[in-house]
Amino acid sequence: MQFSHQKIDRNALCWCGSGKKYKNCHQQFDEKIMDYALQGHIVPDRSLIKNEREIQGIRDSARINMACLDAVAEKIHAGMTTQEIDDIVYQTTIDMGGIPAPLNYEGFPKSVCTSINEEVCHGIPEETIFLKDGDIINVDCSTIYNGFYSDSSRMFLIGDVSEEKKKLVQVTKECVEIGIEEVRPWRFLGDMGEAVHNHALKNGYSVVRDIGGHGCGIEFHEEPFVSYVSKAGEEMLMVPGMVFTIEPMVNMGTDDIYEDADNGWTIYTADGKPSAQWEVQILVTETGHEVLCW
């Protein structure tokens, strides 16, 4: 991503839409980003910087997204189908005035992703798939509200889950929490990615390399791609106004994965061992971060 070099007169209105003069708003901000770009770092384009109106729009969307996951948490149990989870998400979203972002997105047929055990992500809800005692499931929910996108996921333990699976779910949550604490302005996405990866490795797990997080807010999937196997000091510079997801997919075994040849969506671990994922949507602020959706 190359920083936009379009010159703006210092007395002109700022590009961010604040209504302020450029010199009193984003001029110093732009100059600081340009310094990093000249040093050879990857920096965000202006299109990735959200203004206050957009951030509030994402917050409003996130309120619906989190309500959907709360509704699932109240009702999820062994014996229910993943289609019932989809029904809960769809109805909650519609009742609150939103639109399920996954529904018909690039042909995805449902309103939410439900990924069980060795399914890494993009599991498709079905009337024939029943939750069983001992399962772990990721419910990945995304919402459009007034044109703004929110995105988060949670893990759920069904009935009597093995200690091995419980640890995987807990460590994955810790990975996200560690990643969140690494989000600060004028640092790099690689700082966060390395911290996440190191915690997973320390516990004997692997992190999926080919699928990661993403910018989100104005579109469902925006730049940058967010890796969790990156190195500190590398990847894109984090600056105030950036919004992206932290969603490492942590595998009990190998990080190798494959796609379901029949449905073209569901991703599985290559060795059949369990995978876990938690996802938050986060804003980089002037002083640190704000978790917008969880």
Residue 186, domain member (yes or no): yes
Range of the domain at 171: 46-293
Q: Is the pLDDT of residue 1 over 50?
A: no
| Residue pLDDT, tens place only, 135-187 | 999 999 999 999 999 999 999 999 999 999 999 999 999 999 999 999 999 99
| Contact assessment for residue 136 and residue 276, using Cβ atoms and an 8 Å cutoff | yes
Of 281, 293, 272, 228, nearest to 120 (Cα)?
272
Residue 275, domain member (yes or no): yes
List, edge to edge, every strand of the sheet that includes 119-121: 119-121, 267-269, 257-259
Residue 216, domain member (yes or no): yes
pLDDT at 5: 56
Residue 158, domain member (yes or no): yes
Q: At 7, is the pLDDT very low, low, confident or very high (cuts 50, 70, 90)?
A: confident
Residue 76, domain member (yes or no): yes
| Single pTM value for the model | 0.95
Specify whether the backbone of 179 is left (phi greater than 0), alpha (psi in -120 to 50) or beta: alpha
Residue 7, domain member (yes or no): no
Q: Of the ranges 18-32, 147-161, 187-201, which one carries the lowest mean pLDDT score?
A: 18-32
Number of domains in the chain: 1
Phi, psi torsion values for 120, nearest 5 degrees: -75, -45
Of 192, 165, 175, nearest to 289 (Cα)?
192
Residue 247, domain member (yes or no): yes
Measured in residues, the chain has a length of: 294
What average pLDDT does the structure give for the chain? Answer: 96
Residue 238, domain member (yes or no): yes
CATH of the domain at 275: 3.90.230.10
Pull the structure tokens for residue 76: 């999820």
The span from the CA of 117 to the CA of 229, in Å, is: 22
